[in-house]
């Protein structure tokens, strides 16, 4: 398998969005707050009796609506290809006024979106996209990469943890229309060492 990850123009968002982001929810992470002076929390996995499909694009309109909601001029769009076929992608938000996830910082990038086609999941494509997103962020002098997920996306939480992200914040009431979901914010400290961003 020859995988190529390359930076693309936001003009390719329609093609980017052709990769589905939906996944099956088979388990959730319950948040248990620890008592005592040290505080903290523990995440415990719980298998669901009834599985369901979660599709982020169906909730917010997906990539096709990003340009109407945000200024994408400082964003990075990455495409993953095997043999010329698009198999995944990632979007990195950076220095975007009004985007709360950026925390008004110019040394923080946000892995806004990452997706791999269902038939190619579990084959290292997501890892290649994260590595490229990190390099893209380092090239813009970012010290951290941040990503948001939810307690219903257990595979994503495990994926980010394996890739060196640390859970930095939990917000139980971030989604009023989805009261059973908990927002999880992950951060990764980035090396200042410059790395090549994208394949030619």
pLDDT band at 192 (very low <50, low <70, confident <90, very high): low
Q: Which helix (H) or strand (E) holds 99?
A: none
**For the chain, which domains are there?**
3-189 (3.40.630.30)
Phi-psi region of 71 (alpha: psi -120 to 50; beta: other; left: phi over 0): beta
With a cut of 90, say whether residue 194 has pLDDT above it: no
With a cut of 70, say whether residue 34 has pLDDT above it: yes
pLDDT digits (tens, 9 = 90+) for 5-32: 999 999 999 999 999 999 999 999 998 8
Of 116, 111, 88, give the one whose Cα is nearest residue 101.
Answer: 111
With a cut of 50, say whether residue 200 has pLDDT above it: no
Tokens for 18?
Answer: 């052709």
Place of tokens 């903290």: 40
pLDDT digits (tens, 9 = 90+) for 89-119: 999 999 999 999 999 999 999 999 999 999 9
Of 131, 128, 170, give the one whose Cα is nearest residue 151.
Answer: 170
* Mean pLDDT, rounded, of the chain: 91
pLDDT of residue 1: 72
Q: What is the mean pLDDT of residues 45-58?
A: 94
- Collect all residues with Cβ–Cβ distance below 8 Å to 29 and sequence separation of at least 6: 43, 44, 45, 46, 151, 154, 157, 182, 184
pLDDT digits (tens, 9 = 90+) for 59-96: 888 998 999 999 999 999 999 999 999 999 999 999 99
pLDDT of residue 39: 62
pTM, full prediction: 0.90
Of 34, 21, 52, 53, give the one whose Cα is nearest residue 170.
Answer: 34
pLDDT band at 196 (very low <50, low <70, confident <90, very high): very low
């Amino acid at each position: 398998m020859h995988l190529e990850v390359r930076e693309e123009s936001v003009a390719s968002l329609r093609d980017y969005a052709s990769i589905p982001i939906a996944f099956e929810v088979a388990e959730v992470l319950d948040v248990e707050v620890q008592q005592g002076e040290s505080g903290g929390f523990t995440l415990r996995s719980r298998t669901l009796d009834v599985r369901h499909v979660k599709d982020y694009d169906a909730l917010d309109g997906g990539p096709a609506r990003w340009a109407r909601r945000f200024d994408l001029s400082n964003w990075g769009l990455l495409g993953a290809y095997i043999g010329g076929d698009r198999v995944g992608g990632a979007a990195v938000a950076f220095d975007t006024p009004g985007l709360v996830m950026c925390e008004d910082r110019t040394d923080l990038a946000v892995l806004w979106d990452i997706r791999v086609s269902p038939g190619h999941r579990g084959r290292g494509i997501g890892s290649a996209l994260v590595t490229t997103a990190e390099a893209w962020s380092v090239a813009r002098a970012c010290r951290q990469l941040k990503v948001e997920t939810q307690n219903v996306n257990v595979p994503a939480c495990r994926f980010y943890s394996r890739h060196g992200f640390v859970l930095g914040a939990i917000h139980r009431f971030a989604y009023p229309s989805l009261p059973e979901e908990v927002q999880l914010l992950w951060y990764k400290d980035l090396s200042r060492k410059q790395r090549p961003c994208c394949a030619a």
